[in-house]
Amino acid sequence: MDARAIIGWNLRRLRVERGLSQERLALAAGIDRAYVGRVERGSENVTITTLEAMAQALAVPVADLLAAPPPGAARPQPLRAGRRPRAE
């Protein structure tokens, strides 16, 4: 797996674990939503500054975006579409 794919894998995994949409992550990091999608697909070269902004928005160290997934790990699932039920 190349570096772009590893970053995309980790970005999606961390984003979904936190229940953030691509749009909310992009807003928190100050980047474009479409850019987040391209990074997750591994089709975008990311600058260190952008990695720092995304890591800060996810509340993780930058190193967490660079760690290779364990061998045989399943691809991170997408965030469930639609609105969340209102808490009462």
pLDDT in tens, 17-57: 999 999 999 999 999 999 999 999 999 999 999 999 999 99
Q: Is the pTM of this model over 0.95?
A: no
pLDDT in tens, 63-75: 999 999 888 887 7
- Contacts with 51 (C-beta within 8 Å, 6 or more apart), sequence order: 7, 62, 65
Give the Cα separation of 46 and 11 in Å (integer): 12
